[in-house]
Amino acid sequence: MGQKIVQQHFSHSDFVQFRRRLVEQLKQLKQIINAPAFGKLPLKIGAELELYLVDKQGYVANQSEAVLTKLDDPLFQFEINQYNLELNLAAVNALGTPFSQLESAMLHKLAQLESVTQKLNLDYAAIGILPNLKAGDIDIANMTDQLRYKLLSQQLSNARGAPFKIDIHGEENIHLDLNDVTAEGANTSFQVHMMVPHNEFAQVYNAILLTQPLVTAISANSPFFLTKKGWQETRIALLKQSLDCRIPDMVQHKLPSRVNLACGWLQQDAWQIYAEAVALYPILLPYLTEPDTATSTLPELAELNLHMGTIWSWNRPVYCPNDKGHIRIELRALPAGPSCIDMTANAAFAIGLAYGLRNQSPQIIAMMPFDFADYNFYRAAHQGLDAQIMWPDWEQYKLVQQPISQIIRSYLAIAQQGLVDLGIRQDEAKHYLNVIENRLSSGMTGARWQLNCVEYYQNEYQTHYQQHYEPQVAREVACRQMLQDYIRLSKSNQAVSQWERIWKLN
Give me the long-range contacts of 70-79 (CB less than 8 A, separation at least 24).
70/116, 70/119, 70/120, 71/112, 71/113, 71/116, 73/109, 73/112, 75/109, 76/109, 76/113, 77/2, 78/144, 78/146, 79/50, 79/144, 79/185
Does residue 121 come out as left (phi exceeding 0), alpha (psi in the -120 to 50 range) or beta?
Answer: left
Phi first, then psi, for residue 222 (nearest 5°) are -140, 65
Q: 477 Cβ partners below 8 Å, 6+ apart? A: 457, 458, 461
Contacts of 330 (CB under 8 A, 6+ apart): 191, 192, 193, 315, 316, 317, 318
How does pLDDT run across 359-392, given as a tens digit for each residue? 998 888 889 999 999 999 999 999 999 999 999 9
43: phi then psi, degrees, rounded to nearest 5: -70, 140
Confidence label for 4 from pLDDT (cuts 50, 70 and 90): low
**Domain parsing of the chain, residue ranges:** 43-441, 445-505
Whether residue 294 is predicted with pLDDT greater than 70 in this model: the reply is no
Q: Write the CB contacts of 115 (distance below 8 Å, at least 6 apart in sequence).
A: none
Q: Are 246 and 8 in contact (CB under 8 A)?
A: no
Does 415 score more than 90 pLDDT? yes
- Three-class secondary structure assignment of 13-59: HHHHHHHHHHHHHHHHHHHHHCCCCCCCCCCEEEEEEEEEEEECCCC
Does domain 43-441 fall under CATH 3.30.590.20? My reply is yes
pLDDT class of 1 with cuts at 50, 70, 90: very low
DSSP 217-255: HHH--B-EETTEE--TBTHHHHHHHHT----HHHHHTTP
Is residue 441 helix, strand or coil?
A: helix
Angle subtended at Cα 167 by Cα 64 and Cα 264, rounded to the nearest 5 degrees: 90
Q: First CA to last CA across the chain, in angstroms? A: 48
Residue type, 185: G
**What are the tens digits of pLDDT across the range 199-251?**
999 999 999 999 999 999 999 999 999 999 999 999 999 999 999 888 766 55
- Each residue's pLDDT tens digit, 443-499: 999 999 999 999 999 999 988 887 677 889 999 999 999 999 999 999 999 999 999
